[in-house]
A and B are shown apart, each in its own frame.
Chain A
Amino acid sequence: MSTRAAAGWRFNVLGGAAGWLWLVIGVVPIYWIVITSLKSRSTYYAQNPLAPPTDPTLENYRSVIESDFARYFLNSVVVTAGAVVPAVAVSFMAAYAVVRGSAGSRFLRSVNVLFLMGLAIPLQATIIPVYLIIIRLHLYDTLLAIILPSIAFAVPLSVLVLANFIRDVPRELFESMRMDGATEWGTLWHLAFPLTRPALVTVSIYNGLTIWNGFLLPLILTQSPEQRTMPLALWTFQGEYGVNVPAVLASVVLATLPILALYALGRRQLLSGLTLGLGK
Chain B
Amino acid sequence: MSGLAPPAVRVRAATGSAGGRSGSLGWMALPALAIFVAFGLVPLVGVLALSFTRWDGIGAIHPAGLDSWRTVLTDPGLPHALWVTFLVMALSWAFQTPMSLLIGVFLAGRQRYREFLAVLYVIPLLLSSAAIAITYKALLDPNFGLGAGLGLPFLVQDWLGRSGLALGVVVFVVSWQFIPFHALIYQGAVRQIPVTLYEAAQIDGAGRIRQFLSITLPQLKYTIITSSTLMVVGSLTFFDLIFVLTEGGPGDATRVLALDMYKRGFQANLMGPASAIAVILVLAGLALALLLQRLGGRDASASQLEGA
- Whose C-beta in chain A lies nearest to the C-beta of B21? A184
Q: How far is the CA of A263 from the CA of B123 in the complex (A)?
A: 9
A residues within 8 A CB of B246? none
Q: How far is the CA of A127 from the CA of B32 in the complex (A)?
A: 20
State whether the Cβ of A153 lies closer than 8 Å to any Cβ in chain B: yes
A residues within 8 A CB of B71? none
Q: How far is the CA of A276 from the CA of B239 in the complex (A)?
A: 22
Contact B21 A101 (CB under 8 A): yes
Contact B29 A128 (CB under 8 A): no
* Residues 14-51 of A at the B interface (beta carbon under 8 Å): 14-16, 18-19, 22-23, 25-27, 29-30, 32-33, 36, 44-45, 47-50
State whether the Cβ of A235 lies closer than 8 Å to any Cβ in chain B: yes
Contact B139 A97 (CB under 8 A): no
Contact A7 B57 (CB under 8 A): no
Q: How far is the CA of A248 from the CA of B38 in the complex (A)?
A: 37
CB distance from A97 to the nearest CB of B (A): 4
The residue that A275 contacts in the complex, of B26, B128, B181, with Cβ under 8 A, is B181
Tally B residues with Cβ within 8 Å of A: 102
State whether the Cβ of A194 lies closer than 8 Å to any Cβ in chain B: no
The residue that B185 contacts in the complex, of A29, A44, A278, with Cβ under 8 A, is A278
CB distance from A140 to the nearest CB of B (A): 11
Chain B contact residues: helix, strand, loop or mixed: helix
Contact with B along A44-63 (1 / 0, CB 8 A): 11011110000000000000
Q: How far is the CA of A269 from the CA of B265 in the complex (A)?
A: 39
CB distance from A262 to the nearest CB of B (A): 9
- Whose C-beta in chain B lies nearest to the C-beta of A93? B28
State whether the Cβ of B40 lies closer than 8 Å to any Cβ in chain A: yes
Q: How far is the CA of A108 from the CA of B24 in the complex (A)?
A: 11
Contact B130 A232 (CB under 8 A): yes
The residue that A252 contacts in the complex, of B99, B127, B209, with Cβ under 8 A, is B127
B residues within 8 A CB of A196? none
The residue that A129 contacts in the complex, of B29, B42, B244, with Cβ under 8 A, is B42
B residues within 8 A CB of A118? 36, 40-41
Contact with A along B16-51 (1 / 0, CB 8 A): 111011101110110111011011111110110110
Contact B26 A105 (CB under 8 A): yes
CB distance from A1 to the nearest CB of B (A): 10
State whether the Cβ of B228 lies closer than 8 Å to any Cβ in chain A: no
CB distance from B91 to the nearest CB of A (A): 17
B residues within 8 A CB of A65? none
Tally A residues with Cβ within 8 Å of B: 105
B residues within 8 A CB of A249? 134-135, 138
CB distance from B158 to the nearest CB of A (A): 16
State whether the Cβ of B184 lies closer than 8 Å to any Cβ in chain A: yes
Contact B130 A133 (CB under 8 A): no
State whether the Cβ of B62 lies closer than 8 Å to any Cβ in chain A: no
The residue that A279 contacts in the complex, of B21, B187, B271, with Cβ under 8 A, is B187
CB distance from A256 to the nearest CB of B (A): 6
Contact A129 B46 (CB under 8 A): yes
Q: How far is the CA of A29 from the CA of B185 in the complex (A)?
A: 23
B residues within 8 A CB of A213? 127-131
Contact A26 B285 (CB under 8 A): no
A→B interface (CB under 8 Å): 3-4, 7-8, 10-12, 14-16, 18-19, 22-23, 25-27, 29-30, 32-33, 36, 44-45, 47-50, 86, 89-91, 93-94, 96-98, 100-101, 103-105, 107-108, 111, 114-115, 118, 120-133, 148-149, 151-153, 155-156, 159, 183-185, 188, 209, 212-216, 219-220, 230-232, 234-235, 238, 245, 248-249, 252, 255-256, 259-260, 263, 267, 270-271, 274-275, 278-280
Query: What are 5 A-B residue pairs whose CB atoms fall within 8 Å in the complex?
Result: A48-B149, A93-B32, A127-B262, A129-B50, A209-B126
Question: Given A127-B261, A275-B184, list of 13 further CB < 8 A pairs?
Answer: A19-B117, A26-B176, A26-B179, A103-B17, A104-B21, A111-B29, A114-B33, A121-B282, A128-B46, A128-B275, A130-B39, A234-B128, A271-B184
B→A interface (CB under 8 Å): 13-14, 16-18, 20-22, 24-26, 28-29, 31-33, 35-36, 38-44, 46-47, 49-50, 57, 99, 102-103, 105-107, 114, 117, 119-131, 134-139, 141, 144-146, 149-150, 176, 179-181, 184-188, 191, 205, 207-210, 212, 226, 233, 236-237, 239-240, 243-244, 258, 261-262, 265-266, 271, 274-275, 278-279, 281-282, 285-286, 289
